Each structure stands twice: as C-alpha cells, then as structure tokens.
Structure 1
Amino acid sequence: MFLDDATFPETKTCSLMLLSSVPRRGLSQLVSTHKTSSPEVQIEIPKRIQRGPTDILRALSSTLKPDYTAPHYRYHDDPFLIPHSSMNKRSFSLAKESGRKAARYFLQKYPESFKYDPADPKIAAFNPPEKKFIEENDYTEEDLLYFINNVRVIDAQSVFNSIHTKGVEVSQKTILLLLQLMSFYNCREAETINYLEELYFSHKELLPKKTWTDGNLAELLFEMLEDKDTVAYSAYIYGLAKHIHVEKAFAMYEEMRLKELVPSLHAYNGLIHSVQYMAEGADHRWKLVTKLLHDMQANGVQPNLITFNNVLELCSRLGNARMGKNYALKTLAEMRKLGIEPSLATYMYVLRSFCKTKGPISTILREIIELLDEKVLVPQEARDFDFFLWAMIVCNEHLFNKDVAYKVNELLEKNPDLLGSSARHSKYYYHFFKLLAETEDIDGYMLVYNKYVPNTYIPETSIYIETLQAIDLNDAFRYLPQVWSDIVTSMIHERNSAIPGSVLSLTARFQSSGTPEDDKLHQQIIEIARHTRDRWNASRQRSVNTFHVPIMMNAKDIGNMIQTFINGSRLDEAWISVQHLIERQHEIVGFSEASPLLNFVQRACHAGEFNQALYCAKYCAEIGHISVPDWMKQQAERYAFDQKILEELDHLTAKSSTAEAKK
C-alpha cells in the first residue's frame, strides 16, 4: 500500500511551510545545483568477511599492552599478599591448587552431599562420578566398558580382575580396548583433570628413565588376545616406547614384521623417539631410524610433524655435530618435500643441532626469528614450549649477542603463553639477564631490570651478583638502593651470604661529592649497611631460640661495613661494628683487612675516643695488622695520649716486633 497526501495531510502543509521559509535566491541556487550535479557514484558493497565468535575480543585485546609492573593474575593484587620470592610464589600457587584437590576429593568421597546442580547443560567434570568401584559388587562387561570409556584406569583394572577371577568371559573387543588404555597409561591412574598450577611448577627430566612396570596387566591382556592384529601390536608397542622399555618395544616390532603386519603411525613415532635412549653409537642409532623411515615408506604410512620432530631430536643428540647438522638439513628438506609445516619444536631442534656451545658460530637463529616474526605462532605439540628457552640459551652461550636476544624477547612478548612452565620461565630470564649484565650498558640493563623484576621474574643469587658487579663496574651507585630493596623483599640474602658481601663491598667504595643528590644517596647507602647488620643480628638471635641456620658473616664484609660508616661520618655506628667484629670472632670467618680498621682508629683518635682506638689496635696486633698500633704510637705526641695508653702501645709494638724476629 502506498502512502499519499491524504493519508498524512500535515506532511503537505509542513513541506509548503519549509519552501516558503527559503529565500528566492537560495531556492534558485538549490534548483540550479540539482540540474548541474554530477551523476551518482555507484557504491560497491565489500564482500562479507567471515568472523569468529571471539574476533571482537581479539581486536580489543590487541589495543592493550601487558602491565609488567602488576602481579600475575593467579596472585591477589594486594601489596600485603603479593609474593615477592620464588618460594612464596610456588607455595601460594600450590596452596590454591591443594584447595581445588581437596574439593575434588570431597566431591568423589561424598557424592550424596552434592546433589544440587543448577548447571544446564550438565557438566560431567563438575559432578560426582556416576559409578564407583566397590569390591563386593558383581560387575559385568558393560561396567568395564563404562570405566574404560571414562578413563578410570585403576577402577577398570579392578573390575577386570574381579570379572576374570569369577570366570566371566570378556569379549576380545573389550580386551583390546582395555589393552589400549593400560598400555598408554602403564596401568597407572590417568590425570584426566589438569591442575594448571602443578603443571606450571613441575620439572621434567631431561633424559627420562624406564617407567614401564614389568608384568603389568597390559602384558597379560596382550597374551590373552587370540587374534593379535595391527591395532593390538601398535597400542602395545606405543605404550612400551612411551614408557621407555626400548628393548621390548623393538622386539615386538620385529615380531610384528615377521607376521607381515603394518604398525600404525603412532607406533612408528614412538619407536623413532625411543631410539635416542639406546646405548648405541651415533651411526647405529641413525641407521636404525633410517630403517624405520624406509619401512614407513614401504608400508605406505605417511609421516607427520611428530615423526620429523622425533628425527630432529635424535639429530641434536647424536654427539657428532657435523653429522647432526647434515642429517638435520636432510630432514628439513624431506619435510618441505612433503609439505609439512615446521613447528617451534622443529626450529628448536635445528638450533640444538647447529648452535653447540663449543662449536663454530652459526647465525641460523637470526633467520629463524625473521621467519617466525611474520607468522601467527600456535603450539602444535608439548615440545614447542621449549623453543624460546633454547633460543635464549643460544643467544647467551653460543652467539653472546644482545641484539638477537632482544629480538627473541620481543617475539616472546607477542606470544607470552609459549614459554611454558615455571622452570622454563626462570631459565629463560636467567640467560637473558646474564647476557645483558655482561654486554649491555648499565642504564639499558636497568631498564630491562625495572620492567621484569620482581613481578615477572625474581632473579637468582648469581643474577643479583652479576647485577651488583655491573653497578660496581660502572660506578652506578644510584641503582644500589633499588636493587637492595628487591634483594630484601625476595629474602634471597638470608640464604646466601655472598649477596650481602657484594653489597657491602659497594657501599664501602662510595664517596659523596657533596651534591644534594649524592648526600641523599649516601644516607640510603648507610641505611643499607645498618640494615645488613641488623639482619645479621636478628638471624643470629633466631638461631639461638630456634633451629635456624644463621647468616654467616665474613670479617671482610664487616670491615666494609665499618668503612661505609666511616665514609658517612658515623663513628658510633662504626664502633658497634668493631665491637661485633672483635667480640664474635668465633662466629666470623676470616680476618678483616687493615685499611678499614686503620681508618676507624684514625677517626676515633680525631674524635677523642682513645679507648675505642686502643681497643681496635689491640685486635689488629693480634691478627697481624701491626701498622695500626704503629700509627697510634707515631701520633702519640699529636693526640697527647695518657701514660696508660702509651704503655699499652709500647707493649703491643714490642710484642709484634718479637713475633716478627722469630719469623
């Protein structure tokens, strides 16, 4: 139906009113413009781009940058609750995980108490298990299939033993399914629930040992199978290879070949991966891998990414660098020929083959970073998370190049989830900071330090010592208070006396130039020395009351502490440290140098504290620093020592002269 003026009469009245309000000259201009206007431009509507459900969120996320000064989301964002040491971070995270495990325990132990479930649709992982193994019950094959399908390894094993003991016949198909389950998990309970914090703080062995349990249920099931087909052999071989029972895995493979059966791709991958654990030479291991690859080709089994990554892993561990490089290049060429896209693990094993610590310098890492910078990095397998760690190890130990390290770190910042576990995280930043401490100027190093410490990375003892050495080398005392603050909050100085010693050697060297900035810095440095002494005393007192190993102080460190107080004109503080040095000789390792003790004696004499100077001079005479009492004796007329002090000095110098004569 079309609308006319009769339908809405007020529209016509409104239009006439608008036209009457336009001046005659303006109306003529509108008409002429309409007549001379160019033809309409045809609008081309672009083709619709297919969008995913999270594309808007990704676009918004790309506008934000990570805040490196904030703690990780797993910790409470509260100044009093944020952990500042590696031990506290681990304890905090695993405590939360322990709470989740406790909740899971009660859910499984008392399922009748958790009947209320408002979730729709139902989430099986959040509900109690439907069935629970009870030894007195009578079970059927359907019950066994239920436990197999729900990956309840121990319960499935118990149900099978119960059925088998009672003489109930189990079908060959069910036995095969149970064999696959038992072989994969080595008859141990499967971790179907991923506890992320435990995974993050876990440590994997560099060279795993044999974990296969001899005589387990998987071996019995394999023997029970009447028709041992390709599926049964492949599952059994993969389980043996996965749990590093290498000899038996290859024995089963040879038996399979004699029966003219073709292993599955997973079985081949397991065999290739287990070759590296054989106690054979490089030539023999490579010939064995080559034989497996030729068998795959002959049997029409197409290799995948895991296959080639396993081969490259062997190349990196052959022991012969030249042979490893040659075979790695051949493997990469074969991957390209088959159109298989390399993953991060592929590039990681290439780095390990080409960039040996004591081998010739290879710049292949630069090419890899340039190639990866143009791609969207998506992990394909678990070993992909080792790439960035090995790339930084190569930068530090092989290339010793900070520019390449910055490029690796820049790529990591675009893909922060690809660093993996806490162990990889700590090792990566260890090598990054160690390299920068030795190659970067102090201001550039501290920019990186301020960015990552302490929320992203808490340095180890060796990195803190490297940082203090960099400050010492560049006379950058302005950074010392900040670094000391991080050391105290991480509590690492209470476990290692090398750090307080390095700090005190720096504080003893600082001399204020008289500017307001230097005077303020000098006060902070004096406070560092005082804080170190107070921590030492507190640790000593705590060891008396409880079983606690105290902080061991070195006499040289106390001498540096004395020198720090003297440089700041704090004779009273220096006197306290001298008393500690002399009265606690049985707790202190070594002897102090003569320089700080001589300086103390000079300042004490200048301040009129002659008894303090004599007390220190006696200690110096006992440990062989005869120059200190000799100086006091030379200055006797200048400071007008009383007769008692003069007699003490004569006795000290005479005793020292006698000792020197006997030598």
Structure 2
Amino acid sequence: MRSGKSTIMCSSSSTAQKAAENIEDTQEEIVIPRRKTWDKLAVLQTLASTVNRDPTAAHYMFQDDPYLMPRNSANARLLSLSKESGRNAAKYIIKQFPQYFDKILAEPNVPCLMPVTLTPQLEGVNEEALRERINLRMMKASVDLFDQLLQAGTPVSLETTNSLLDLLCFYGDGKSVQEEQREEKEDLEESGVNASEQKTPKRPLQRGPRSSGSRWRENNDAERIFKIMPERNAHSYCTMIRGMAKHGASAKAYDMYTELLNERHKADVQTFNALIGAVPFLKDKSPERWELVKVFLNHMVQQEVQPNLLTFNAVLKTLRRCGGIGRSVAISVLKEMEALKIEPSLATYEHLLFIFYRAVDLGPSSIISEVLEDVEKRSFTAQDPDDANFFATAMQVCCDLKDIKLAYRLNKAMEKGDNWKFLDMSQLNSYWSKFFSLLCMMEQIDVVLKWYREMPPSLFYPSPKNIVDLLQALDAANHLEAIPSVWEDMKLLGFNRRQDLLEEILSLMSRDTHPEETQLAFAKCAEDIKNVHEQSWREQAPLAWTGSALGHVAVLFSRVGRTQDAWKVIERFQQANRIPTDRVMDEFLNCAKQTNSPDEAIKLVKLAVSLGLASAQRLKSRAEKEFELSESQRKALESIQPDSDSSDSDSDSDSDSN
C-alpha cells in the first residue's frame, strides 16, 4: 500500500512539474501586440462594405429631394448644377455678410465651419497691410497699396513683392471671385438697384472652356511691377513664366525663360512643366515640338532639377500633338518614368491611350491590355487634373475596338477601391452610356437586359442612342416582345416625344406578325403613341404625323381587330396630306374580313379611289371575292369606279416590274 501511494504521489508530482514547464513555455511565447490606431471613418467604411448598390435607387446626389428626382441625363445635370449654385450662394452670403452670423449657436463649436473674415483689419500704408490684402486675394487693393508704398518712398521686401506677383500671375488680368462679388455688390448699392431686379449681367456669360488665345494683357500690373522691382530672384522669374504660360502668352513665357538663363538663375520643376505644356503653342511642326521638349529636358538635367509625375504627363500631353513622333517616343517616356521609380497616374495612361488610339487609325489592342494590367493592380488617388478623363477615354477605346472583354476588365478596375470617384456626374453618364452601347453590340440579349435592369437609374440615365441600340439588340435577337417594357421606360425618361425613337419603335412592332398576346401589347403601345401625337398640339413644338408613323399605327390596330381605331387613323392620311401604302390598305382589309365588316371594306375602297391609289381596283376585287355582300352593298361597291388612269398605271408598273 505504501508503495502504491508513493507511486501515485510520484506520478502526480511529475505531472504537476510538466504542467508548470508547459505554462512557463507558453508564457514565454506570448507577445503583447501594439495598440491599434483606427481611422476615424473605419466604422463607417466597415458598415458601407456590407451594403450593396440598390439598382432601383437614384444617384446619392439626388436622394435628398424625391420630388425633384431627375428623369434623364439633362435633368440630372441641371439639378446637380442647381445644387452647386445653391451652395455657392450660401457661401457668398456667409462671406459677404458675416455680421449676421456673429451669434455662435452651434454645439460643439467647430471653428473651421464658422464664417471667415474677408474684410481688411489693418489700416494705413504699410507692408503688413499689403500682406493682409494679398492673403485676402484683393488684387486691386493690393496693387493700389503697393503703388502708394512706392510713392511714399517705402521699400517693399522681395518676399512680399513675390507674393503679390504670385497673386497677379495666378488670376492674370482677371479678378478673384471675392473681388468680383464685392465690386458687383458696390455697384448695385451705388445705383440703388436690387440684385434680384438686375436682369442684364455686367459681363457676357461664358460657357465651356475659355478661348485658347492669349488672355495676358500687354504691360499689365504683373509686368509693370516686375519691371520696377529693384531686385529679382529665381522665384520672381518662375512666377512670371508660369503665369504667362497659364494665360496663353506662351511666346512671352519662353522669352522670360531666356532672360532667366541670362541672369544665371535656375528654374524649378513647376516652371519646366509649364514650359513643356506650352510647346504646342510655340512650334507648329511635330519634329520642332519634340526637339524643343528635349531642349527643356536637357536643361533640367543641367540645372539638376528632378522631374516629377507632372513633368512626364506634360511631355505625354505634348506628344499627343506630335503625330507619328508621339507613337514612337511615348513608350520610351514610360520606361524613363520606370527608371526614375515614378509611378504613372491615370492621366499618364489617358495620354498614352490618346496617342495610340485615334478615331481614324486605331493602334494595337496590346497597349490598352498592358495599361489595364497596371490599372487593375492599384487604387489611384488624384495627382493630375487630367486623371478624371481616363475611364471615359478608355471606354471609348474599348468601343472603337469592339472588345467587350476589355470593357469588363476596365469596369472591374473602375470599381476597385476609390477609383470610381474619378467619374464626375457628366463623365459617369458618358462612361456607362458607352459601356451599354458596347453591350448591346457584342453581348447576348439576356446579358444586355440584365445590365439594363441594374444600371439605370443608380448608375446612369440612358440616352436616346442607348434606347436605339437596345431596340436594335432586341431586333437582332428576335426578342421584340420586350418592346412594351422599353416603351414604359421611354415615357419615364421623357423620350416619348422623340420623333426618331417613335418611328423606330413603331417600325419594329409593325414589321412582322407576332402571337396574339404580343400583338395586344403592341397595340397598347401604338395607342399611347397616338395619344402623345394628339396631345402635343397644346405645346410649342407639336409632333407632326408622318406617313410611316400613321401606317404603322393603322397596321398595329388592324392586327388586333380594332377596326374603328384603325379606320380613324387611316382617315388621318387625308388630313395630314399623306398617302397610305398598299400594305396598310391590305392589313385593314384583312382586319375587316376578320371582324366580318363589309361596310368598312367598302369605305376603304372609296377612300382608295378618292386618293387616286393604284391599288384601288385590286382592293375592289378583293372585297367582291372575300366578303359576303348583301344586294345593296354589292351595288354600292359596283358603283365605285376606280380611275382608269390609275388602273392603267398599275398594270403598266406591273408589266415593267415583270
């Protein structure tokens, strides 16, 4: 017994010892992780990743006001511009009338959201007041105060003068937004006119980009101040060069760069970028442009200026206007970027696609494939103003190449990370419109309809061209029974008054005979189109009936046995000074036969005779053979005598065709 107890005690002690050793081993392996710092938006980003896009919802920009929900791309653009205009108006009120917002009622108080003081606080003629007006972007006041300082014999430091040059060269001969708003307000107060009553703007309204001509006035304030500066450094010259290049005075910018070299100063990388971008306006021929670009690049090497991403983008943007030289040099430019370990941006790829894929002469598809391989691996951030043009340009290339696989790859790359943010409202609609047109051209009809149900209105609003492409895809796939649903979408999009779309949809519905259910749906669409024409007379631009549209509607009514409606449409041929075709007359006669309406057949023959149709005799013969006529009806039909000239011309045309 003692031995057994001792054995048990020994085994238990050994077990405890092993357990203690295991605990020590595990304690040595434990590593306390460092404190994790989460982003402020981490929770919102995690929640957003669990929610998928609702294809039935509109763009998030328009969801705050369901009563103003846009129906098409034109309304969407108008609403987005209206909302942006409202935000600008609110900013204007806050900045111009800060005295009405002096009571801080916000809890908590966020200083960056409070009104900013835009009125000068320093008085007197001194350099401090000048710097304050420069920081407030008051161009005219800054120039006036600078002149007063010179007249008083007070020297202005080189740093302050360069700051004034920066302001003047940034805006050119124009005015800052704050200054324009301030002057308009003062003019209105002096004239005693309320801003809401002013109907004629002071300046002509400019739409689209400004003209490509020079907007740099001769001997403006920037040039005058630059000439009277007692001391100039490299910053002064570079500011003038960038301002001249920005505002279209490319020749003056190049002359200023020559003066900079003569003064033995060095330009910075932003100045070289501006000069390279101005090369197309300095030289007319492609070889001369490329030679000048190489001169600037060699000067950067000599002055030990390190190029950046915008430098190579400026080179590629210039190569877009160098014809065949651009194609032969563009790849070497990318290799140089790779050697300097500079990652391309979306603007780099956009310039490359423009160089190799022109509308007239398309380049090899391998270029865009290699571009997509790089784009698919990255989530881009904005580094160049031209970055926003990449996805729309790339989708246009896919459409030109008619390559649906490339389009799918591009769309997948666009949805990766935050790449979708590069598409603004107008480019978003253009991108998806091109993508949908390519789908209609290259994909199966089931895939096309799936995309069509999921894309609008959450992604884009179909254009009239998209509707035409969809109708042609339905026609090619012999899937015309889906036309009524497309017509309902056309009404929602506001396209029910587009003459070309109405002609296309009526032509497809009336071309062939379909099952009864489909024909009834087509007749319902034809009735809606007929009502649209009848109600349009109240509008400024009413729709006009065309002979083909009338014929299609009459055929669709006739095929479902709506004899009275078809006859009313046929009577409109006389009112619209149109002549129905033989197909329309035959379809109506078939409808009258189907409904056993000999009186309608007799009226049709009378109408054909009154219109002088060549088919009047043939229609009379059909009515005599295919209808059971009473004695009075037969006499009425025999009393109708077609014009002999029309029957002769009918026989002559038959003999000629034979």
TM beyond 0.5: yes
Residue 654 (1) aligns with residue 631 (2): no
Q: Which of 460, 479, 492 is the matching residue for 1:457?
A: 460
State the SS of the aligned residue for 1:228. Answer: coil
Does the 8 A contact of 2:347 with 2:387 survive in 1? yes
Corresponding residue number in structure 2 for 1:148: 134
Change in CA separation of 1:35 and 1:337 when aligned onto 2, cut-off 3 Å: closer
Identity of aligned residues (%): 27
Q: Matches of 2:120 and 2:636 in 1, distance apart?
A: 90
Corresponding residue number in structure 1 for 2:50: 63
Q: Matches of 2:248 and 2:338 in 1, distance apart?
A: 30
Query: 1:272 Cα shift?
Result: 0.4
Does the 8 A contact of 2:120 with 2:133 survive in 1? no
Change in CA separation of 1:167 and 1:127 when aligned onto 2, cut-off 3 Å: farther
Q: Matches of 1:109 and 1:153 in 2, distance apart?
A: 17
Q: Show the 5 A alignment for 1:72-221.
A: 72-76=59-63, 80-118=67-105, 123=111, 126-131=114-119, 140-153=126-139, 155-157=141-143, 160=146, 170-190=156-176, 205=209, 208-221=212-225
Q: Matches of 1:393 and 1:86 in 2, distance apart?
A: 19
Q: Show the 5 A alignment for 1:281-430.
A: 281-320=285-324, 323-357=325-359, 358-397=361-400, 399-414=401-416, 415=418, 417-430=420-433
Q: Matches of 1:269 and 1:596 in 2, distance apart?
A: 68
Change in CA separation of 1:427 and 1:118 when aligned onto 2, cut-off 3 Å: same
State the SS of the aligned residue for 2:278. Answer: helix
- 1:72-116 deviation per Cα after TM superposition (whole angstroms, max 9, x unaligned): 222136764421122222222222233323323333443322211
Q: Matches of 1:522 and 1:387 in 2, distance apart?
A: 46
Change in CA separation of 1:364 and 1:621 when aligned onto 2, cut-off 3 Å: farther
Change in CA separation of 1:598 and 1:157 when aligned onto 2, cut-off 3 Å: farther
Query: 1:31 Cα shift?
Result: 10
State the SS of the aligned residue for 1:642. Answer: helix
Return 354-363 or 388-397, whichever deviates more: 354-363
Corresponding residue number in structure 2 for 1:433: 436
Corresponding residue number in structure 2 for 1:525: 522
Q: Which of 235, 238, 248 is the matching residue for 2:239?
A: 235
Query: 1:349 Cα shift?
Result: 1.5
Corresponding residue number in structure 1 for 2:591: 603
Corresponding residue number in structure 2 for 1:8: none
Corresponding residue number in structure 1 for 2:203: none
Change in CA separation of 1:525 and 1:32 when aligned onto 2, cut-off 3 Å: farther
Does the 8 A contact of 2:276 with 2:314 survive in 1? yes
Does the 8 A contact of 1:238 with 1:267 survive in 2? yes
Corresponding residue number in structure 1 for 2:560: 568
Q: Matches of 1:359 and 1:436 in 2, distance apart?
A: 20
Does the 8 A contact of 1:240 with 1:248 survive in 2? yes
Does the 8 A contact of 2:316 with 2:352 survive in 1? yes
Change in CA separation of 1:662 and 1:406 when aligned onto 2, cut-off 3 Å: closer
**TM-score scaled by length of structure 1:** 0.83
- The amino acid of 1:531's aligned partner reads D
Q: Matches of 1:206 and 1:617 in 2, distance apart?
A: 65
Query: 1:65 Cα shift?
Result: 2.7
Q: Matches of 2:214 and 2:288 in 1, distance apart?
A: 21
Q: How many residues align?
A: 606
Q: Matches of 1:263 and 1:334 in 2, distance apart?
A: 21
**TM-score scaled by length of structure 2:** 0.83
Change in CA separation of 1:112 and 1:55 when aligned onto 2, cut-off 3 Å: closer
Does the 8 A contact of 2:602 with 2:637 survive in 1? no
- The amino acid of 2:226's aligned partner reads F
Q: Matches of 2:167 and 2:603 in 1, distance apart?
A: 79
Q: Matches of 1:62 and 1:513 in 2, distance apart?
A: 47
- The amino acid of 1:402's aligned partner reads I
Q: Show the 5 A alignment for 1:602-621.
A: 602-604=590-592, 607=595, 609-610=597-598, 612-621=600-609
Q: Matches of 1:632 and 1:44 in 2, distance apart?
A: 103
Q: Matches of 1:445 and 1:169 in 2, distance apart?
A: 72
Q: Show the 5 A alignment for 1:574-653.
A: 574-585=566-577, 591-604=579-592, 607=595, 609-610=597-598, 612-621=600-609, 625-636=613-624, 638-640=627-629, 642=633, 645-646=636-637, 649-650=640-641, 652-653=642-643
Change in CA separation of 1:648 and 1:97 when aligned onto 2, cut-off 3 Å: farther
Residue 447 (1) aligns with residue 441 (2): no
Corresponding residue number in structure 2 for 1:537: 534
- The amino acid of 1:284's aligned partner reads E
Gaps of 5+ in 2: 1-10, 180-205, 654-658
Q: Matches of 1:267 and 1:351 in 2, distance apart?
A: 26
Query: 1:33 Cα shift?
Result: 8.2
Corresponding residue number in structure 1 for 2:487: 484
Does the 8 A contact of 2:559 with 2:591 survive in 1? no
- The amino acid of 1:527's aligned partner reads K
Q: Which of 15, 22, 26 is the matching residue for 1:39?
A: 22
Change in CA separation of 1:117 and 1:378 when aligned onto 2, cut-off 3 Å: same
Corresponding residue number in structure 1 for 2:228: 224
Change in CA separation of 1:419 and 1:581 when aligned onto 2, cut-off 3 Å: farther
- 1:453-501 deviation per Cα after TM superposition (whole angstroms, max 9, x unaligned): 233211222221111111111121232222212211111332x310011
Change in CA separation of 1:562 and 1:215 when aligned onto 2, cut-off 3 Å: farther
State the SS of the aligned residue for 2:378. Answer: coil
Q: Matches of 1:374 and 1:554 in 2, distance apart?
A: 54
Query: 1:54 Cα shift?
Result: 3.2
State the SS of the aligned residue for 2:60. Answer: coil
State the SS of the aligned residue for 1:569. Answer: coil
Query: 1:646 Cα shift?
Result: 2.6
Corresponding residue number in structure 2 for 1:272: 276
- 1:256-302 deviation per Cα after TM superposition (whole angstroms, max 9, x unaligned): 22222211211110010111334511100000000000001101111
Query: 1:411 Cα shift?
Result: 1.4
Query: 1:621 Cα shift?
Result: 4.8
- 1:588-622 deviation per Cα after TM superposition (whole angstroms, max 9, x unaligned): xx654321232113323554545544554455456
- The amino acid of 2:529's aligned partner reads T
Does the 8 A contact of 1:507 with 1:564 survive in 2? yes
Query: 1:185 Cα shift?
Result: 1.7
Q: Matches of 2:321 and 2:639 in 1, distance apart?
A: 72
Considering only aligned residues, what root-mean-square deviation do their CA atoms show, in Å?
3.3
State the SS of the aligned residue for 1:91. Answer: helix
Q: Show the 5 A alignment for 1:463-482.
A: 463-482=466-485
- The amino acid of 1:313's aligned partner reads K
- The amino acid of 1:604's aligned partner reads A
- The amino acid of 1:535's aligned partner reads V
Corresponding residue number in structure 1 for 2:197: none
Higher relative contact order (CA 8 A, sep 6+): 2
- 1:481-523 deviation per Cα after TM superposition (whole angstroms, max 9, x unaligned): 22212211111332x3100111111221464435xxxx2x444
Query: 1:417 Cα shift?
Result: 3.3
Return 93-102 or 162-171, whichever deviates more: 162-171
Query: 1:311 Cα shift?
Result: 0.6
Q: Matches of 2:622 and 2:96 in 1, distance apart?
A: 86
State the SS of the aligned residue for 1:493. Answer: coil
